[in-house]
Amino acid sequence: MQNKHAKRSRSAGAARAWVLIAVAIAALALAGWWWKGREASGADGPASAASAASGAGRGGSSSGGRFGRTGPQPVSVASVQRRDLAVAIDAIGSIAAANTAVVRAKVSGELKALYFKEGQPVKAGQLLALIDPRPFEIARDQAQAALARDQAQLENARADLARYRDLVAKEAAPRQQLDTQQALVRQLEATLLSDQAALDNARLQLSYTRVTAPIAGQAGLKQADLGNTVTPSDANGLLSIAQTQPAAVVFAVPDARLPRIRQQLAAQQPLAVQAWDREHRNKLAEGRVDSTDNAIDATTGTIKVKALFDNKDGNLFSNQFVNVRLQLDTLKDVLVVPTTAVQRGAPGTFVYLVADGTVALRKVQLLATDGEATAVQGELKPGDQVVIDGADRLRDGGKAEVIQAPAAGASAAGGRERGRNRQHGASAPAGASAASR
């Protein structure tokens, strides 16, 4: 019993020892974590203080970045110009061929030859395909033989008629026989006319074996192969031809522009139209307005306009979507600023003017916009420097530092995007709110 009691005492002591060791290790780990955290905070503190002190010494902001709250705001500027500006409407249109023809076989038969190249221009009357002409040649020959036979019978009947007239005049033949012969001649004359019509029809059917282009234009892909039997009822025909010289572009414009368009069309003043690619980078063609639709679309408040393009280089294809720019008018000798300089906020429409490092808010009235240029009316003069980038934190009377304008890349694109957002009322600049207060 004493041995068992001693063994139990030794086991309990060993367990207490292991518990104490585990507690000690945990305490040491906690102390080490706390000490490291203190060193880190202590290191950051002086560094942050030094950074703040250096920022204050440079006269910059506490953030030390571009959008500092106390120092001059870096901005890019552009000059106000006085020049002419085109008043234009941008729209999306589709190319429509002036004429489109589906070339179908007019007679049934085996397709013997194709004389066109897919996608190449063809002329009106050009031979495109040949259908086996032999059955139609035989029909023509038969009609021609029937005509010759009836022609001979008519000549014989006319000779008999002349003899009967002499006999009747001499009272050597009855009058009834003369009348019968006259009727036979008229019958053969009618048969001869029928034979001639049959021959003409046979010749016409034979001519249909030579398939020609009904209009000039660009040939499409062939819809039948050599050796196939084609018929007039084929849905796709042999090919299609699209006349794209000139090409027509149909697009919609707001109905408020209709009076000006009709006024210039009535005065026979050309309205210039430009067609651009999808990215609005390359100009495809230039044309003019030809006509307008006869009714306004009540659901959209727009009216369709049709413009014609010479399309001599063939850059326009049927059903192609293009960006259209219609020039309605030209504003003469107006103040023009970059579109990115125009701001919108509580004061209304305005621009920021920078002179000697000081920012001034100038309200303006928009007259027209042509891409990256906008015509305005306000307290501006040519040569004034307006902010085109960095206007987000400007305020009237604040300070600004003019830097070089951003290159025509991502920075410029970003500036244009911010300008578009402001024009659509996405956000009002802080300066505008300060000025309104």
What pLDDT digit, counting tens, does each position of 315-359 carry? Answer: 888 888 999 988 887 888 888 899 888 988 888 899 998 888 888
Do 132 and 216 sit in the same domain of this protein? yes
Summary mean pLDDT of the chain: 80
What's the burial of 146, exposed, middle or buried (CB within 10 Å: 0-12/13-18/19+)? middle
Query: What is the C-alpha to C-alpha distance for residues 188 and 150, in angstroms, rounded to an integer?
Result: 7
List the CATH number of the domain containing 430: 2.40.420.20
Single out the residue in 302, 331, 360 at which a domain terminates.
331
**Strand, coil or helix: 233:** coil
Query: What is the C-alpha to C-alpha distance for residues 9 and 76, in angstroms, rounded to an integer?
Result: 86
Is residue 217 a part of any domain in this protein? Answer: yes
pLDDT in tens, 268-327: 888 889 899 888 888 898 999 988 888 898 888 899 999 999 888 888 888 889 999 888
Single out the residue in 294, 313, 331 at which a domain terminates.
331
Do 124 and 176 sit in the same domain of this protein? yes
Asked whether the predicted pLDDT for residue 92 surpasses 80, the reply is yes
Instruction: Report pLDDT for 2.
Output: 47
Asked whether the predicted pLDDT for residue 174 surpasses 80, the reply is yes
What the block records as the tokens of 159 is: 């000779």
Do 124 and 191 sit in the same domain of this protein? yes
pLDDT in tens, 235-253: 899 999 998 888 899 999 8
Confidence band of 38 (pLDDT split at 50, 70, 90)? low
Do 157 and 182 sit in the same domain of this protein? yes
| Letter string b/e over residues 259-286, b meaning 16 or more CB atoms within 10 A of that residue's CB | eebeeebeeeeebebbbbeeeeeeebbe
Is residue 44 a part of any domain in this protein? Answer: no
Instruction: Report pLDDT for 67.
Output: 44
- Provide the terminal-to-terminal Cα distance of the chain, rounded to the nearest Å: 96
List the CATH number of the domain containing 187: 1.10.287.470
Do 338 and 322 sit in the same domain of this protein? no
User: pTM of this prediction?
Assistant: 0.55
Is residue 42 a part of any domain in this protein? Answer: no
Do 315 and 339 sit in the same domain of this protein? no
Instruction: Give CA separation, 285 vs 52, 90, 383, in Å.
Output: 59, 15, 35
Asked whether the predicted pLDDT for residue 382 surpasses 80, the reply is yes
Phi-psi region of 187 (alpha: psi -120 to 50; beta: other; left: phi over 0): alpha
How many domains are there within the chain? 4
Do 320 and 342 sit in the same domain of this protein? no
Closest CA to 160 of 190, 181, 183, 179: 181
Do 144 and 166 sit in the same domain of this protein? yes
Single out the residue in 305, 331, 357 at which a domain terminates.
331
Is residue 293 a part of any domain in this protein? Answer: yes
Is residue 22 a part of any domain in this protein? Answer: yes
Q: Kind and range of the H or E element at 239? A: strand 239-254
DSSP β-bridge partners for residue 304? 252
Is residue 173 a part of any domain in this protein? Answer: yes
Do 203 and 265 sit in the same domain of this protein? no
- For residue 142, how many other CB atoms are within 10 A of its CB? 13
Q: Which residue has the higher pLDDT, 15 or 401?
A: 401
| Letter string b/e over residues 77-94, b meaning 16 or more CB atoms within 10 A of that residue's CB | bbebeeeebbbbbbbebe
Do 327 and 345 sit in the same domain of this protein? no
Is residue 24 a part of any domain in this protein? Answer: yes
Do 325 and 376 sit in the same domain of this protein? no
Mean pLDDT of 116-141: 94
Confidence band of 130 (pLDDT split at 50, 70, 90)? very high
Mean pLDDT of 27-52: 54
By residue range, what is the domain housing residue 200? 110-229
Q: For 139, phi and psi rounded to 5 degrees?
A: -65, -35
Q: Which residue has the higher pLDDT, 38 or 404?
A: 404
Do 302 and 342 sit in the same domain of this protein? no
Is residue 221 a part of any domain in this protein? Answer: yes
- For residue 247, how many other CB atoms are within 10 A of its CB? 26
